[in-house]
A and B are shown apart, each in its own frame.
Chain A
Amino acid sequence: MFKKEFSPGAKSKVKSSAQRAIRAKVIETYPLIEPYIDEVLPKKEQLDLVKIPDRVSLYCNGGTPLFWQHMDDPIVPHLQLVHKYPWCFTRVRIDRGGIRFVLSGATLMVPGLTSPGGRLPGGEESEEWANGGKEIEAGDVVVVDAEGKENACLVGVLKMGTKEMKEKKKGPAIENGHYVGDGLWKLDLS
C-alpha cells in the first residue's frame, strides 16, 4: 500500500472522545495489548492524526507513529510499535526465501508461510507463533516475522484464514501490507 514514498498531509489533534474510541478499538482488535495500553496510548497524551495519501489516517503520539487505518478497515499498528511490543499481536512467520519479496512490496503468498521455514498457528506449543492452537481468520490483522530474524518485517490483513492456507498451500496471503522500508516506514513526522 505504501510502496511509494510520500509526504504527510495535514496534521490535526484527535478529540479526547475520539481518542477513547480508538483506545477501545485497539483493545478490541488486539486483546493481548491490554496490559500495555497505558504505555502505548497514554490516557493523558494528546494524539495526532496525520492524513496520508489513499485515505489512510495515521495516529501518532508526538513524533512516534502508532497505528494507521485505511478508511474503516481494521486499525493496524505501525511496525515501529510492533518492534517495541511484538508479543501484543498475533503473529505468523515466513521462510527466508520470501523476505526479499516482502521487502520489495510484493503480496505475501501462502507458500512462504506453509513451507518448513514458515510458521502458522497450531504448530509447536512452545513457539510464539502457536497462538494457543487457535486458527487466525481471514480479515484479521497479523504481524509477520521472518525466519532467523528478530524483528517483524510486515503487518497486514489476512486474505485467507490460516486453516484454509494449510489446505490449499497457495494463493495470496496478505495484500497491501505495511513492511519495513516502505513509504509509511520512511515517513518523516518531524
Chain B
Amino acid sequence: MADTENTPAPATDLKPARKVVYCGVCTLPPEYCEYGGTVKKCQDWLEDHNPTLYAQLYSADAAAQNLSTLSVDAQKRAEKDAQKKAAKASAQEARESEKRATSKIIIKRVERNKRKYVTEISGLEAFGLELKKVAKEFGKKFATGSSVTKTAAGGEEITVQGDVSDDVFDWLTEKYEEIPEENIELVEDKKKKSAA
C-alpha cells in the first residue's frame, strides 16, 4: 500500500490511484476492522492475506498508541461499546445459522394438466439467495419460463415451467454447497380436478 498520506498532492503531475486493501470479512479497510464487531475474524483474515499490514496494524506499538490518545474514561466507554457490538454481531450470526439449519427449501411439483407440470421452489430466501436472480438462472439453465410469484401466504416463490424438480435439486446442491442436502425437500402435489 502506498503511503500517500504525508505527501502533499501537487495538482500538476499525476499520481496513480491508490490501491486499498479491503478486509475480506467485514469489507472495511483493515484499519477500521476494530469497529466492525468481527475483530477476531478480521484479524485472522488479515494475518493470512496480508502479513505486512497485519504486523503494522496489530503490533504492540500500535495498540499502545491507540490507547494513549484517549482519556481513561473514553477508553472504557469505547471498550464497552466494542464489546456490545461484538456481542450483537455474534448473536446475529448465531441467529442466522440457526435459521439456516431449521429452514427448508421445498421443491414442489404441481400437476397442471395431465402430464404437464410446473415446479414451485420456495424457501430459497432463507439461505440468502436472491429470488429474482435465481429465477433468471433457472430459466437459462432449463430453457423454460421461470418467474418469481407471490404466494397466497404472502411470501414469494419461484415458479419454473415443466417438471424440473430433480434437476433443481441437483443444481442447488451442486452450486450452493452451503445448503445442506437434507434441508431440501421434494414434494409432489397432484391437483384434483373438481368434478363438475
Using a CB–CB distance below 8 Å, which chain A residues touch chain B? 7, 32, 34-36, 39, 80, 83-88, 95-97, 99-100, 103-104, 117, 126, 128, 147-151, 153, 180-181, 185-186
- A-B CB pair tally, cutoff 8 Å: 80
B28 at the interface (CB under 8 A from A): yes
Among all A-B residue pairs, the 9 with the closest Cβ atoms: A87-B9, A84-B17, A83-B20, A151-B29, A103-B35, A149-B31, A180-B28, A181-B28, A150-B5
CA of A120 to CA of B127 in the docked complex: distance in angstroms? 46
Given A128-B9, A151-B31, A180-B32, A36 and B14 contact (CB-CB distance below 8 Å)? yes
Residue of A nearest to B17 (CB): A84
CA of A36 to CA of B18 in the docked complex: distance in angstroms? 12
Given the complex, which residues of A lie within 8 Å of B36, measured CB to CB?
A: 103, 181
Given the complex, which residues of B lie within 8 Å of A149, measured CB to CB?
A: 29, 31-32
Given A35-B12, A83-B29, A147 and B1 contact (CB-CB distance below 8 Å)? no
Q: A7-B130, A83-B29, A100-B35 are in contact. List 20 more A-B contacts (CB 8 A).
A: A32-B9, A32-B11, A36-B14, A84-B17, A84-B18, A85-B18, A95-B69, A96-B70, A97-B78, A100-B78, A103-B36, A126-B8, A128-B6, A149-B32, A150-B5, A151-B29, A151-B31, A151-B32, A180-B28, A185-B28
Given the complex, which residues of B lie within 8 Å of A96, measured CB to CB?
A: 66, 69-70
Contact of A150 among B1, B11, B12 (CB under 8 A): B1
CB of A24, distance to nearest CB on chain B (Å): 18
CB of A110, distance to nearest CB on chain B (Å): 17
Given A97-B70, A181-B27, A185-B27, A103 and B32 contact (CB-CB distance below 8 Å)? yes
Chain A CB within 10 Å — which of B6, B19, B31, B66 has the most? B31
Given the complex, which residues of B lie within 8 Å of A185, measured CB to CB?
A: 27-28
B186 at the interface (CB under 8 A from A): no
Given A35-B12, A35-B14, A181 and B32 contact (CB-CB distance below 8 Å)? yes
Q: Are B31 and A100 in contact (CB under 8 A)?
A: no
Number of B residues, CB within 8 Å of A: 33
Q: Are B20 and A84 in contact (CB under 8 A)?
A: yes
- 1/0 per residue, CB under 8 A from A, across B156-167: the answer is 000000000000
CB of A186, distance to nearest CB on chain B (Å): 6
